[in-house]
Amino acid sequence: MSGRIMRWIGIGGVLLLTLGLAACQAARMADRRTSDWQPQRVAVLPYQAAIGGEEGNVRSPLTGASFRPGPMIEGAGMALDASLNQWLPKVADFQIIPVSQAGAVFDRMRREDISLNLMQAVRATAERLKADAVLVGFVYRFAQRVGGPYAADRPASAAFDLNLIRVSDGAVIWKNSFDETQQAFSEDILAASQYMDRGLRWFTVQEWGDIGLGQLLERLPWRKEAPSKPAE
Give the list of residues 6+ apart from residue 188 with CB closer than 8 angstroms, or none.
20, 21
| Calpha distance 128→106 (Å, rounded) | 9
Check residue 170 and give left, alpha or beta (phi > 0: left; psi -120 to 50: alpha): left
pLDDT value of position 191? 60
Report which of 15, 42, 20 is spatially closest to residue 132, judged by C-alpha positions: 42
Beta strands in the chain (DSSP E): 6-7, 9-11, 14-16, 32-33, 41-44, 48-49, 58-59, 66-67, 95-97, 133-136, 138-143, 146-147, 151-154, 157-166, 172-181
CATH of domain 25-181+203-218: 3.40.50.10610
pLDDT value of position 200? 78
pLDDT value of position 17? 34
Name the stretches of the chain with pLDDT < 50: 1-31, 228-232
| Calpha distance 148→143 (Å, rounded) | 14
| Calpha distance 43→79 (Å, rounded) | 18
pLDDT value of position 82? 97
| Calpha distance 170→123 (Å, rounded) | 7
pLDDT value of position 188? 65
Q: Is 81 exposed, middle or buried (0-12, 13-18, 19+ CB in 10 A)?
A: buried
The domain ranges of the chain are 25-181+203-218
pLDDT value of position 192? 62
Residue type, 194: Q
Residue 187 gets which letter from DSSP? T
Question: Which H or E run contains 46?
Answer: none
Give the model confidence (pLDDT) of 72-90 as tens digits: 999 999 999 999 999 999 9
